[in-house]
Structure 1
């Protein structure tokens, strides 16, 4: 499945969204002009002009038939004023909502009442959910997102954010507790596919648009409440003059909440086909159609997917299942359950499935652990297959003072546990930057750690060093990515100090090697959006010629790091360009400076998805040119893809 093409389609749907939004605003302008004309006509003919009309009727009975209709109260000046007012109000409300959502996925999750799950949670269901999400992230080449839980007993989930590095996943408690592990995997794979397909940014834009349309109705409700209170408090004649305002407010409510109709039309127009696509993508990720099909069958059995949050009207299009009560199917944000299940499983017998009980879930986890122990896979090889002991709900091993065994898998298991704790995750990343013990700079780095972080941090580093040394180099960056949710629990000041420490450790020997660059850039990529204002990257470059120099820079760096001499680099570069159909690239000279690479990636992050996809294909061919892939090449590809916000699946053979 071509996710890059689907991301391009998602961006094209933004144009459709603008057209629908414009149509909704135009309808509001027309209806508000008619409403104001009707109110003015009513005031003149039934309040102020009633007496005059009776006098005229006594002298000229035909006068009553010559009074103006309410259409005569629509003037060009009024039309222009109302049009400007509606555009300002709706556009301003949408802009305010957009600014409120600049916190990205976290802001959406918190507005829905979500509670952040800590990476080191020991709750059975929470631990299983976190393990499944880590598993999906590893399998799909994605950073591990933050996870929020909503206290709804229905089965539902959503993904929110601007880009993969900012993504969060929200899950209802019913989804955690009523689904089997297999079904939970299917739901999470569905949400990951929304991240891949570029749906998240479109969904946040849709939230802002819907709020702007609905805001007219909120103004009407305010006027209605104000006039109702005034009429209730006083019944004097002067308060009868508030009747037109009451009627005007009532009209605004009717028209404004008629905007909900437009909102549902917009949501139905942009979301239903995306749900079919996400279902199909989930099957591709898990290679198991029964997972997501089973989750849909449990919803149909009676668990339901309705959300109780007051924000559900604005966010209904983001969820896995129908978050609102049943409504006319033409305005539903999701396809019918039966249709979704049949597309996934054409042989479905029409029967729904009962939710899983806790004892069944615990037995399922125990069976997984036993199977892994029998197969010798009790310690997850994170860079390879996604399902392993980290998928179980058993407690993780804690770093101890005892000398570790000479097993890279056991070292990996222990360090994976450390990556899930905020304190030891910092220790882990600092330890990965330490030079080999035989180099003089090693002691300089340890002295720096002791002086800046204290004695306990220093002791933790020493405990982890044998484990870090036992790691396969291909396992280092996956551990860095696994540590990101825990590091997001730091305070802003703690993060700033930690970032400075990483820079000092990397520069301790006077230079930054490629692994140090990869670790630091991944840290910035995943943590900066969390601790700073999220700024969605604009998409600007659609053609190769616009950024051929940036593509050349990136592919040249990869070619030189994978080659021993210039001829090999030139051949690898040419094969990469040819595989992706690039025709305007030039191999650049080898340089020790990483500045050209940083500048090139800044521009490439603004490229359209299809160009990013072609670059990934070029990098794969470049790595394969000599028939083998070095660890430094895999690290480069992983980091470059993360900076471009492109998910890549890496295994021992390279890009999957």
Structure 2
């Protein structure tokens, strides 16, 4: 129920902001007299595509905390929480960024994530399962990996890439739908798809093209994971980073796949899942750290 509410809230914010921007820029209908105004269409798609991505970025901390049940550590209640705060502070200083908020979320899986709209207003959170099953050195390496994401500006980079991808998905979809509508009309311009069929086809193609285009975003995400692993090795310890990935591999090697949408350290299975995976196979990441 909470995820549905967050989804609706995000989309409402997108519609309001995009509507204001279109009004300010004076962007009109991209269909004029039965013809397609490609400039207006591109601006229309750019506004909605980038707005959706940027609104999600600005709301990312709130959404992550609510969806995972992350509890921020304001005042440490035990030795583990005190250690987490001091470790994140130390690693943040090494990385040259402002200390992120630090949290813990309930999950049996060994997991962690970083999010936030800029590197000086971020959140780093780890699961209870990770704290239970990894050694302090391995947890420190995972924290360094997440801080590497923050310091490298990965959240902003991927949000911008997603915005560009959204723009072109919307643009291509509407051009294709217009072409089909024109092809099915007679010489007098009568007939065509009709507004209901046009709307349904637009939604279907938006989804299909969006799924295909998500592979582009996933490719960039996988590249950023290697950089974050290297940051974990540099900020913490290379062998500890390798050990953390090996432990994660051992933990999940008998599982069919990882569950949950906030997984920060993942395993890819089939070629199809690997194409859409946001993280490279663990064997590849371990080999990269080992220089193989």
> Structure 2-normalised TM-score?
0.64
CA distance in 2, matches of 1:148, 1:173: 10
CA deviation vs aligned residue, 1:270-324 (integer Å, no higher than 9, x gap):
22222212212221222x2221112212222234783524xx6xxxxxx632389
Give, in whole Å, the separation in 1 of the partners of 2:51 and 2:167: 8
Change (3 A) 1:214 1:146: farther
Secondary structure of 1:328's partner?
helix
- The 3 A distance-change label for structure 1 pair 283 and 101 is closer
Distance 1:262 1:127, change over 3 A: same
Is the aligned partner of 1:277 residue 2:216? Answer: no
Q: Which has the higher contact order (CA 8 A, sep 6+)?
A: 2
Q: Partner residue of 1:332?
A: 277
Cα displacement (A) at 1:147 = 1.7
Q: Offset at 1:211? A: 5.9
Q: 1:99 to 1:322 in 2, by over 3 A?
A: same
State yes or no: 1:91 paired with 2:41. Answer: no
What TM-score does the superposition give when structure 1 sets the normalisation length? 0.31
Q: In the TM superposition, what is the alpha-carbon distance from 1:76 to its structure 2 partner?
A: 9.4
Number of the residue aligned with 1:298 = 247
Change (3 A) 1:247 1:126: farther
1:490-509 matches, cutoff 5 A: none
Q: Which runs of 5+ in 2 are unaligned?
A: 1-30, 172-192
Measured after TM superposition, the shift of residue 248 of structure 1 is 4.2
Q: Residue 165 of structure 1: SS of its match in structure 2?
A: coil
Q: Which residue of the partner structure matches residue 264 of structure 1?
A: 215
Give yes or no for the alignment of 1:178 onto 2:123: no
Q: How does 1:102-113 map to 2 (within 5 A)?
A: 102=58, 106-107=61-62, 109-110=64-65, 112-113=67-68
Compared with structure 1, are the counterparts of its residues 307 and 210 closer, same or farther at alpha carbon in structure 2 (3 Å cutoff)?
farther
Partners of 1:321 and 1:161 in 2: how far apart? 18
Which residue number corresponds to residue 320 of structure 1? 264
1:117 paired residue number: 72
Work out whether residues 119 and 153 of structure 2, in 8 Å CA contact, stay in contact via their aligned partners in 1: no
Query: Is residue 245–residue 282 contact of structure 2 (8 Å, CA) maintained in 1?
Result: yes
Name the counterpart of 1:518: none
Question: 1: CA distance between counterparts of 2:129 and 2:168?
Answer: 32
| 1:162 positional shift | 4.0
- The CA RMSD over aligned residues, in Å, is 3.7
**Structure with larger Rg:** 1
Give me the whole-angstrom Cα distance separating, in 1, the residues matched to 2:33 and 2:269.
43
Residues 115/82 of structure 1: CA separation in 2 closer, same or farther (3 Å cut):
same
d(CA) in 1 for partners of 2:61, 2:41: 33
Per the alignment, residue 146 of structure 1 pairs with: 101
8 A Cα contact 1:161 1:204, kept in partner: no
Counterparts of 2:68 and 2:195, CA distance in 1: 36
The change in CA–CA distance for 1:252 and 1:298 in structure 2 (over 3 A counts) is farther
User: Tell me, what secondary structure is at the counterpart of 2:246?
Assistant: helix
Residues 101, 332 of structure 1: alpha-carbon distance in 2 compared, 3 angstrom cutoff: closer
Gapped regions of structure 1 (runs ≥ 5): 1-74, 217-242, 313-318, 348-656
Distance between the aligned counterparts of 2:224 and 2:53, measured in 1?
Answer: 24
Distance 1:82 1:180, change over 3 A: same
SS at match of 2:125: strand
Q: Distance in 2 between matches of 1:333 and 1:170?
A: 18
Aligned to 1:343: 288
Distance 1:185 1:108, change over 3 A: same
CA deviations over 1:320-372 (Å, ceiling 9, x no partner):
3238986432332222110111222358xxxxxxxxxxxxxxxxxxxxxxxxx
Shift, 1:125, TM fit: 4.7
Q: Is the 8 A contact 2:104 2:125 kept in 1?
A: yes
Report the Cα distance in structure 2 between the residues aligned to 1:129 and 1:207, rounded to whole angstroms.
32
Q: How far apart are residue 213 of structure 1 and its match?
A: 6.7
CA distance 1:113–1:84, shift in 2 (3 Å): farther
Please tell me whether the aligned partners of residues 158 and 169 of structure 1 are also in contact (alpha carbons under 8 angstroms). Answer: yes
Are the equivalent residues in 1 in contact too, given 2:110–2:130 (CA < 8 A)? yes
In structure 2, the CA distance between the partners of 1:336 and 1:323, relative to structure 1 (3 Å rule), is closer
